[in-house]
Structure 1
Amino acid sequence: MRRTTALLLTSLLASAAVLAAPTAAEARASADNPTTGSCVAYPSGPFGVGVCSGLEPRRAWSVSAKCMSGLTVTSGLRLGDGTATANCGNSRVYTTQVSIGPILP
């Protein structure tokens, strides 16, 4: 009886540890990279435009645009909320994307 109880208890504790491990990892990941705020990216003629709002003031981000000519251009680094553009020059924009980086000290 004791052996069966110990076996069941060990099995139960192992199952709880397996279920709790991803939750602890997710908590660490969200603390390192909080997902506050939102960003959108869209093409506008020869510009790739990125707009971010609700970001922490020290959160780094930029926008990049892949041009129809095959080049990929990137805006300068931005911090916090704002708008950034990547200029394809005489070419039109094929795709646009916002890249969010770390919180700077």
Structure 2
Amino acid sequence: MDPLTFDYEDLHFRVDRGVFEAFNLIGNQQTYRIPLEWLAVLVFFKKPGKPGQLFIGSVKDATAPLYGTDRLAIRSAATSALQISTADELLFRDYFTKVATLANRRVV
């Protein structure tokens, strides 16, 4: 199977052989790699109509959703918060739904 990839602005996400990788194409942030069973992606909108924040890190419990909105489910955020619009959140949700399917995990 070919790697599952997603590009957004200066970010490149890749899933291959059960491992998720996040690459920042500009800046000094390092690559982040984690097995899919521990991947956590959190989206948080503080105020309606304002950009939200997307965090990538690890879950406390492997039965937690891979993609969700519960700030308590994420153990640690390994990447800086990425500002995203409500419309762009749908793009991330679509990609991470595919990733969750590969990992036999769920999204919220």
TM-score range, shorter chain: under 0.3
What is the TM-score normalised by the length of structure 1? 0.27
Q: Which structure is larger by alpha-carbon Rg, 1 or 2?
A: 1
Return the structure number with greater helix share: 1
Structure with more contact order per residue of length (Cα contacts < 8 Å, sep ≥ 6): 1
What is the TM-score normalised by the length of structure 2? 0.26
